[in-house]
Chain A
């Protein structure tokens, strides 16, 4: 069971995320509505994992990620939540140290898959997430 910090500027999304994560058997360490708050809460709570939305006011997901990576000694585990068409930003996040990304709309399966790739004990093999990712991708 992981302690997860949920970061998103939309309350509805945060509720949805929390539900999914609870269903997967993890606990919610906290929630933040922008990048700055995320950094503060990270320092305070040191969660096992952060789900970070990209577009947020005050400070966006990528900047927040970079800050957190700086202050974390072992390397924080951050999964970016991205909308379609943000490929360049996702790449930047990955190169800055993000451990995964999930395309909106978020689903339980997508979360499980991303978490599984970081924490191998949660990895579920009989999942064909690929299909879903396909449809969300650019079509030539």
Chain B
């Protein structure tokens, strides 16, 4: 399944071949165009190159010829110059030698000699001769013009106007010798001017200079002839040859021999271009190229000719060489052809190559795109699959993580719960003594809210810096201590009990593995309170024991103190000083204090001590008797023992204090006394009433009241019912207060416990049962006694569920106490008698209260001992009543 993007990509891949084709076309076109351009430029370059080459060639040739001419001319001139120089040297030498040899002769004679010697010398084809001048300008010797000898020609000028004599003089004066050129007429031809070169040398003896000259023209002609002949011998190409024209346009050298010596000034071509004239023009300027159409010698056809001419101005010659472009054209044409062919070949190859390449690329791109498509698809499916897998994995991972987190949270919560419910403060801190994040709830109760990062020492010690320092030091020492024993001993030095925020807190210290400390705080305020209370009770107990065991001492001390309190003021004797009075008082107080202390009456001791110190204070302040009096009055002495007496009363009963005049009488003695009085009474019947009263008193002493004996039972029933999860209304024994029973009755009355117990256990039902029977939730037990006709009737009743007669019947039969038939005949009362049987119990099981069956039996036994009788009234769900009758002995 492809989406838009993927389709786009695939389309792109498909379009690729078209692109390739397009590209290759463009490239091919560019290459071709480029090629053509190159071709053209090449051709053109070739053409211009060739032309240039040709031009160069002809120029070079012309220049060569020019140089040749120049050299020849120079050379010849040089030679000439040298030769005339030599000649003049010769002449000079001759003159010098003549002079030297003829010193004794007259100068004029010597001069003559010299003149004669030199006059006739001829050289250079008889053209050359010597002349001599004086530096004054006077001609001394001139072989050709003897008439000028002796004349001053200083102002003589040549044909060009140069003062040659002056020039000569200056030359010989400055340099001694030198060359000079001048223009002269030739002796034969008087119309034309000719250039002459001369050499002059100074002859010192007579202030002469001598020289000779030669016509340049003559030399020139020689040279020219020679040169032309050389040139003419040079072979040239038909189309490229050197020609030389003179000033007038006469051909001096030409390939066409016929033209040599002829004037071709009027030569022109088909276009009427005056070729020769033009060429001469150019050569006059110096040198240059000239192009014109002319007939080609080889073919006779007109062709473009390029000619280079250079002027040799010394002779007024024009040197030139021309070349036809045809051969250039030909060359170019050939070249072009070959290049064209080459080009074509190249083009074809490029084209074919590009087509082949294009085709190959096309194929490739198609294959490639298919592969890509396939791969793409595969890849996509794989990616999809993997993504799916990944998602699932992720999901399961998340689940795992979630579960783990839950587990961890649960565990943490459990631990936190435990700690928080431990009702102990757990917290930890590191070396910095700042409380860590995790601490139990109790910590907040003891130390305050938001404990994280608070300084534990500040919270616990509340600014007592010396304690804080000791605490911190010791803890850090314990941390650094490697020995475990020492470490724990150090920790034991830390305070285990502190008062924090008005609470007593017990602290335990532990060192944790990661260099941290743990403190366990326990609120022991209550415990402490209890401890204090226990201590107090202990003291109280001590006091009670002391008082009871030493009761005589107690009463004595108490009475003495009471008397003292009444008469306290009497101790202030005005006659004595306050100090004395105070001392007396103090001494007495001290004694009482000691006595009370023996009896462990702490509060009394404290009060007396306080009073004592007040008195001492007074003495120290030096007060007088009146003030002492006031103090005593203000202090309620008698109240000092009040607190402790309260405790005694609470513990031992009111009667202990009031009826402390108890005497212990031996019962035996009392009985004897009773008997004695009895006898006395019978003997003295007149004092019967008195006797009765005495006997009654004795009885009172001897006998305890029935109330007294039965009084334990209400409480007993309450306790019993409580333990049985039943409840009964509190009740009291009802009966006349002064009913006395003999001690012999005690066992029977004790055995009545079983009756009460039965009532509670079997009689009174559970609350729920009672409610369902529409009875009061709480049961009712009643105990009443009365004396009638010397008979004591004790009635114990309850409003419980009553005795089940049928059940009783069954039990009787079960226990083989009687047969069934007989049982059915018996009356209710008779059946009820069976409950006193030893082993009978209608209980299914035995509990801690009753059920064994023994209880009521023992009652019966005791009853029988006293010759008493019992009557039982019972009604199902209504209750049971036991009525005991005991005969009283008549005294």
**A interface residue numbers (CB < 8 A to B):** 87-88, 90-91, 94-95, 97-101, 117-118, 130, 133-134, 137-140
Interface 1/0s, chain B 475-509, versus A by CB < 8 A?
A: 00100010001100110110111111000001000
Q: Is the CB of A97 within 8 A of B497?
A: no
A91 near B496 with CB under 8 A, answer: no
New A-B pairs, 13, CB < 8 Å, besides A95-B481, A134-B497: A87-B474, A90-B493, A91-B474, A91-B477, A91-B493, A95-B490, A99-B485, A133-B496, A134-B496, A138-B467, A138-B495, A138-B497, A140-B498
A120 to B610, CA, bound (A): 53
CB–CB A137/B474 < 8 A: no
Asked whether, in the complex, the Cβ of B497 is within 8 Å of the Cβ of A139, the reply is: yes
Partner of A133 from the list B477, B490, B492, B500 (CB cut-off 8 Å) is B492
CB-based contact B486/A139 at 8 Å:
no
- Chain B residue contacts of A91, Cβ below 8 A: 470, 473-474, 477, 490, 493
Interface pairs (27), CB distance under 8 Å: A87-B470, A87-B474, A87-B493, A88-B470, A90-B493, A91-B470, A91-B473, A91-B474, A91-B477, A94-B477, A97-B486, A98-B486, A98-B489, A99-B486, A100-B485, A100-B489, A101-B489, A101-B493, A118-B485, A130-B496, A133-B492, A134-B506, A137-B496, A138-B467, A138-B495, A139-B499, A140-B497
Shortest distance between the CB of B329 and any CB in chain A (Å): 123
**Chain B residues, CB < 8 A from A139:** 497-499
Inter-chain contacts of A117 with B (CB < 8 A): 485
Number of A-B contacts (CB under 8 A): 54
Nearest 7 Cβ contacts at the A-B interface: A140-B499, A140-B498, A138-B495, A94-B489, A137-B496, A134-B496, A94-B490
Distance in angstroms from A6 CB to nearest chain B CB is: 20
Complex contacts, A137 vs chain B, CB 8 Å: 495-497
Q: Which of B489-543 contact A (CB under 8 A)?
A: 489-490, 492-493, 495-500, 506
The docked-state distance in angstroms from the alpha carbon of A94 to that of B495 is 16
**Chain B residue, CB-CB nearest to A75:** B483
Residues of A within 8 A of B473 (CB): 91
The CA of A137 and the CA of B506, in the complex, are separated in Å by 11
Tell me, rounded to whole Å, the shortest Cβ–Cβ distance linking B475 to chain A.
11
Which residues of the other chain, A, contact B470 by a CB distance below 8 angstroms?
Answer: 87-88, 91
Report the bound CA distance from A100 to B477 in whole Å.
Answer: 15
In the assembled complex, how far is the CB of residue B257 from the closest CB belonging to chain A, in whole angstroms? 143
**B474 to chain A: which residues have CB within 8 Å?**
87, 91
Q: How far is the CA of A87 from the CA of B490 in the complex (A)?
A: 10
Complex: how many Å from CA A117 to CA B492?
13
Say whether A140 contacts B492, CB under 8 Å. Answer: no
In chain B, what residue has the closest Cβ to A79?
B489
Minimum C-beta distance from A119 to chain B (A): 11
B497 touching A94, Cβ below 8 Å: no
CB distance from A71 to the nearest CB of B (A): 19
Shortest C-beta distance, A79 to chain B (Å), equals 10
Which residues on the A side are within 8 Å of B498 (C-beta)?
A: 138-140
Q: How far is the CA of A133 from the CA of B494 in the complex (A)?
A: 11
Most central of A94, A97, A100, A118 by chain B CB within 10 Å: A94
Q: Which residue of B lies closest to A135 (CB)?
A: B497
Bound Cα distance from A100 to B485, whole angstroms: 8
Are A140 and B500 in contact (CB-based, < 8 A)? Answer: yes
Please name all residues of chain A whose beta carbon is closer than 8 Å to the beta carbon of B489 when the two chains form the complex.
94, 98-101
Cα(A134)–Cα(B481), bound, Å:
24
Most buried by A among B467, B473, B474, B499: B474
How far apart are A10's CB and chain B's nearest CB, in angstroms? 24
A130: B residues at CB distance < 8 A: 496
Q: Which residue, of B481, B492, B506, has the highest number of chain A Cβ atoms within 10 A?
A: B492
User: In whole angstroms, how far apart are the Cα atoms of A118 and B486 in the complex?
Assistant: 10
Closest to B469 in A: A88
User: How far apart sit A140 and B446, CA to CA, in the bound complex (Å)?
Assistant: 14
Which of B467, B470, B486, B490 has the most C-beta atoms of chain A within 10 angstroms of its own C-beta? B486
Among A97, A137, A140, residue most surrounded by chain B Cβ atoms (within 10 Å): A140
For B481, list chain A residues within 8 Å (CB).
95
Chain A's nearest CB lies how many Å from the CB of B208?
A: 143
Q: CB-CB < 8 A to A133: which residues of B?
A: 492, 496
CB distance from B472 to the nearest CB of A (A): 12
Neighbouring A residues of B493 by C-beta, 8 Å: 87, 90-91, 94, 101
Greatest chain A CB density within 10 A among B473, B489, B497, B506 is at: B489
Quote the shortest CB–CB distance from A114 to chain B (angstroms): 9
Complex Cα spacing A10 to B486, Å: 27
Please name the residue on chain B nearest to A138 by beta carbon.
B495
Q: How many Å from the CB of A37 to the closest CB on chain B? A: 25
Query: Which residue of the partner chain, among B467, B486, B500, contacts A94 with CB atoms under 8 Å?
Result: B486
Tell me how far the C-beta of A82 lies from the nearest C-beta in chain B, rounded to whole angstroms. 10
List of B residues within 8 angstroms of A88 by Cβ: 470
Which chain A residues border B506 with CB–CB below 8 Å? 134
Q: How far is the CA of A117 from the CA of B487 in the complex (A)?
A: 12
A138 to B466, CA, bound (A): 13
* Bound complex: CA A100 to CA B490 (Å): 9
Give, as a whole number of angstroms, the nearest-CB distance from B459 to chain A. 12
Shortest beta-carbon distance from B158 to chain A in Å = 142
Kindly provide the distance from the CB of A102 to the nearest chain B CB, expressed in whole angstroms.
11
Closest to A139 in B: B497
- Minimum C-beta distance from B524 to chain A (A): 9
Give Cα A88–Cα B496 distance, bound, in whole angstroms: 16
